[in-house]
Amino acid sequence: MKKKIGLPMQILIALILGIVVGLVCGMTGMADFTTAYLKPFGTIFVNLLKFIVVPVVLLSMIDGILSMDDMKKVGSVGWKTLAYFLVSTAIACVIGLVFAKIFDGAGLFPTLALEEGAEWTKATSANFMDTLVGMFPSNMWEAFHTANMLQVIIIALFLGGSIMAAGEKGKLARDVVASFNEVINKLMEFIISLSPIGVFTMMAWVVATQGAEILGSLALVLACAYIGYIVHAVLVYSASAKIFAGMSPVKFFKGAFAAMMFAFTSTSSAATLPVSKDCAEKLGADKDISAFVLPLGATVNMDGTAIYQCVATVFLASLAGVELGLAQMITIVVTATLASIGTAGVSGAGMIMLAMVLTAMGIDVNMIMIIYGVDRLFDMGRTCLNVTGDIACSICVTKWEKEKVTK
């Protein structure tokens, strides 16, 4: 009996085939074919992912909270998770700025100009109090409708804690959550099984329509961001897994590969949740903890986005002739960290956050149009890094909680 090809390998094969088909279509003038007949299937797949994200996050977090059966444990896991994410995001900003300044100082960033008539809708600057107020929903259904993930997480925390506090009278609600969570998980498995189709069609379209131009004048900016992504993954994630969980970097990256590949191609950390959960648990993360940490991480852990924002800001500031001193660098770190925490875990959300950072720095937001066309390539790497961080955090928090029990 032939061994069935696993999902990670199917995704990898689909990725390679998509690139090959995209290159062929691009060189033979058939880019319109990919837009008309391939991209729609990718769009259908992405729509299915968006459709499943809110119920997955809501139900998995409530179920994770109830499974802990102890509000003290929820609080313990919560503060450890947030501390890990905040520290790693701040480090990501520093790494992004260091490499951006090295590239800029060496004169490696190309000189570009805005296309005539290019415009970008200006965004409001990141504001802590606005972000804080925006986390708390005034209408639960509106939060679900707009897929505001920070609000969905707050709803899950409130509902999970309230069901737990209700004790015996909340048993029916517990059973309903557990039942719906199982149903959604089965639906999720089916949608994820379609991922090779989505990966193939979307990659073929991206490569065919943007082709060699993607890797032209902006290759150095992409290289700078990706060096930052790789350094952060090795220095922070694999190192923390080694130091706190005693796991070798090889074992960590091998175990997280499926989620990393899916995130790279889907460019959505929220959509990658099911694969991330499977990888984290196989690497030894506690099921209850991963059900809490991963949905939270898909919303607040945006290290890849932070690196991207720092690199892009320095690049665009250089083009705009804006000198960035130490004070501006600190502002970028703080603003990028705040903006990253507020970034939705869906494809392309980082561009809106970049607009917020540029506005806070006083740089013309219209400059975004220079890199807007290649944002998806940045998005692939930053989403891959975000998801890797979520998995690393779930492993570390699991180890910390186990050590607390044994003391």
For residue 157, what pLDDT is reported?
83
Which candidate, 92, 346, 354, 355, places its Cα nearest to that of 240? Answer: 92
Per 3-state DSSP, the chain is made up of helix, strand and coil in percentages (nearest 5) of: 80, 0, 20
Q: pLDDT per residue over 49-96, tens digit each? A: 778 878 877 887 788 778 766 666 667 777 888 888 888 988 998 899
Cβ neighbors of 385 (< 8 A, separation 6 or more) are 229, 232, 233, 303, 304, 307
- pLDDT over 80 at 276, yes or no: yes
With bands split at pLDDT 50, 70 and 90, how would you rate the model's confidence at 306?
confident
For residue 114, what pLDDT is reported?
41
With bands split at pLDDT 50, 70 and 90, how would you rate the model's confidence at 240?
very high
Q: pLDDT per residue over 139-182, tens digit each? A: 999 988 877 766 887 888 899 889 988 988 999 999 999 899 88
Mean pLDDT of the chain: 79
Residue 286, token pair as written in the block: 């506690």
With bands split at pLDDT 50, 70 and 90, how would you rate the model's confidence at 353?
low
With bands split at pLDDT 50, 70 and 90, how would you rate the model's confidence at 377?
confident
With bands split at pLDDT 50, 70 and 90, how would you rate the model's confidence at 372?
low
Which range is least confidently modeled, 209-213, 264-268, 270-274? 209-213
The CATH architecture that domain 7-406 belongs to is Orthogonal Bundle (1.10)
For residue 252, what pLDDT is reported?
93
For residue 93, what pLDDT is reported?
86
Q: Are 268 and 54 in contact (CB under 8 A)?
A: no
Q: Average the pLDDT over 94-110 and give the result.
A: 79
- pLDDT over 90 at 342, yes or no: no
Residue 185, token pair as written in the block: 């998980």
Residue 193, token pair as written in the block: 């099984």
Which candidate, 36, 35, 48, 45, places its Cα nearest to that of 14? Answer: 45
Q: Average the pLDDT over 32-45 and give the result.
A: 88
For residue 126, what pLDDT is reported?
45
Q: Average the pLDDT over 197-215 and give the result.
A: 73
CB neighbour class for 109 (10 Å; exposed up to 12, middle 13-18, buried from 19) = buried
Using DSSP, state whether 243 is helix, strand or coil. helix
